[in-house]
Chains A and B, each alone.
Chain A
């Protein structure tokens, strides 16, 4: 077991390297960050050329990658454009803990991520817990009572929920519960943001503002996952050992919770395990519509500005998390299913 983990971790390092190279290369498709720096009017050509030089964007791509990776404080760079390098570089590179500065805000990438990550985790972890619990409950109950009224109702609603595009659902909820409820004199929810400035950032305010985004996230995911749990459980319930257990006279509860559920949970674990690292990436559309200041917003805003350091920072963070969680998932998998041998 421990050799497996160590081996996977050792494999992870070159894998992360390769991912970083692939990502950096792919990002060249994004175009020129300087072009978007000007706001409504693009910067003048002289300024563009100077900015490019001073921000290190005039270097060839592989040099930019190396600078990002290991820094350039052992080099001199040409800041004033006269052709001779004279200023010592200041970057240490990500290998030494310097994640770089945003091209747009000039702030440290780590600080920017650190500002947004708690907001995202607050929203996404809460959503994930709700989703897991309700999906398991609904899926399990549907599987135990297949084709009953309950099952059909839940199935129908799940499908409806699952068939709605996120942006449409989010806006619909906002209009009904925030705009129209207020108009009709009913207790209403706020439209956008994390809190009301007049009241301040209290837990009550946060919860109130979280309700609509959580509902948006939950509805669509629950619809999908409960179906998955249902089909998983049903498949397991058809297995021979379950029949045997029933034939032996064990109570249904026991069979379900001791035999069926753990085995049905395996594919579910796979999916959840894959999802958790992406919680950090936030939910782009939901965060955008509800103006929730999270990682998803950070990502999409800086994608539009072609801000490489921030994008690389976010993507590498997610990559590391994914690699770690995949190892964890595989280990749990092998612990739960004794038939699987991790070679």
Chain B
């Protein structure tokens, strides 16, 4: 008698009917764990998060100009111009910057802000983009026209222009906020908003294109025929099947936001003044490319590792969660 137990279509399932087929989630986790690059990326990010969270224990020193021992963020802000532009040494393991601040300490506190900006901006981008894309594609008609015209309007205006306008309009409107014990300038919120608000349009278009294709699929017609509400169709069928581009965009979005922060700092619109971010540290190192490489090497490497880690992670997630992808043709 033939064994008629349903066999899962997934590669990894066994034909032994006594073990239940794995759920997509469990399958996803398993595939993720096998994806070496993704695990590497994940590990990298964990290390980085640990770094910016706890390495501040090591951020301490004697600040000569004010004749005090300092720790933590106060030490990161201590400037001693007589120690400017020193290569890495025992006292300052990453060297000192143009006015004698400790670069090691600044990469810690700067990293906190850079990551905060990156993640927040990506969240803003994904929420806006997915929402607009799905609504436009699903409802079609005048909703689609309106939303797409709005998207187009936002797209036609060069992002540089929007960034400058955004910085002008919002600059100074946000008060300083207190987050995790740090006093952050309102400028940080401005950057998050303007980076998020200038990058959702691509995602909206891609999501819309995907959903346009999906809308005509059989299971959607079936669901509609069965009487599922619009909301259910969107949330349970359409959105989950567009996760591939959403995930790719979200991860690229965080990485992109971190890089945008550096770009925005180069243009002079970034977080100003004494508050460090990896982006504005890199911008400050611009004139010293050859003469003081430690100025750009450390923040640059951190940006690189973070973006690398995020991208590997996103790659792994995409491969793991896409039910149709296979390893070989």
Contact = CB atoms under 8 A, between A and B. Distances in A.
The reply to whether chain A is a binding partner of chain B is yes
A266 B209 contact: yes
A252 interface: yes
B247 to A, nearest CB: 10
Contacts of A168: 262, 282, 286, 296, 300
Given A171-B286, A299-B158, A322-B152, A270 B205 contact: yes
Interface stretch (B101-109, B121-129, B303-311): B303-311
Majority-rule SS of A interface residues? helix
B263 interface: yes
A341 B213 CA distance: 9
B327 interface: yes
Interface string A218-248: 0000001001100100110111101000100
Contacts of B212: 340
Of B213, B248, B266, B296, most A-chain CB atoms within 10 Å: B266
- Chain A contact-residue range equals 35 or more
B308 A159 contact: yes
Contacts of A246: 329
B325 A337 contact: no
Contact of B244 (A159, A163, A164, A231): A231
A184 to B, nearest CB: 14
A169 to B, nearest CB: 10
A172 interface: yes
A293 B117 CA distance: 33
B307 A162 contact: yes
B329 A144 contact: yes
B216 A238 contact: no
Contacts of B324: 235, 238-240
A20 B205 CA distance: 22
Nearest to B259: A165
A237 B326 contact: yes
A15 B325 contact: no
Interface residues of B, number: 58
Contacts, number: 144
A217 to B, nearest CB: 14
Interface in B268-317: 279, 282-283, 286, 289-290, 296, 300, 303-304, 307-308, 311-312, 315
Contacts of B99: none
Interface of B: 36-37, 140-141, 145, 149, 152-153, 155-158, 160-161, 164-165, 168-169, 202, 205-206, 209, 212-213, 216, 244-245, 248, 252, 255, 259, 262-263, 266, 279, 282-283, 286, 289-290, 296, 300, 303-304, 307-308, 311-312, 315, 318-319, 322, 324-329
A166 interface: yes
A114 to B, nearest CB: 19
A337 B213 contact: yes
A167 B329 contact: no
Contacts of B304: 160, 163-164
Interface of A: 11, 15, 18-19, 22-23, 26-27, 29-30, 144, 146-147, 152, 155, 159-160, 162-168, 171-172, 175, 224, 227-228, 231, 234-235, 237-240, 242, 246, 252, 255-256, 266-267, 270-271, 274, 277-278, 281, 284-285, 299-300, 303, 311, 315, 318-319, 322-323, 326, 333, 337, 339-341, 343
Contact of B322 (A19, A235, A267, A326): A235
13 contacts: A23-B157, A160-B304, A162-B255, A165-B282, A175-B290, A227-B315, A231-B318, A237-B329, A284-B160, A299-B160, A315-B158, A337-B213, A343-B141
B160 A162 contact: no
Contacts of B152: 15, 322-323, 326
Contacts of A26: 161, 165
A267 B203 CA distance: 11
Contacts of B319: 234
A319 B156 contact: yes
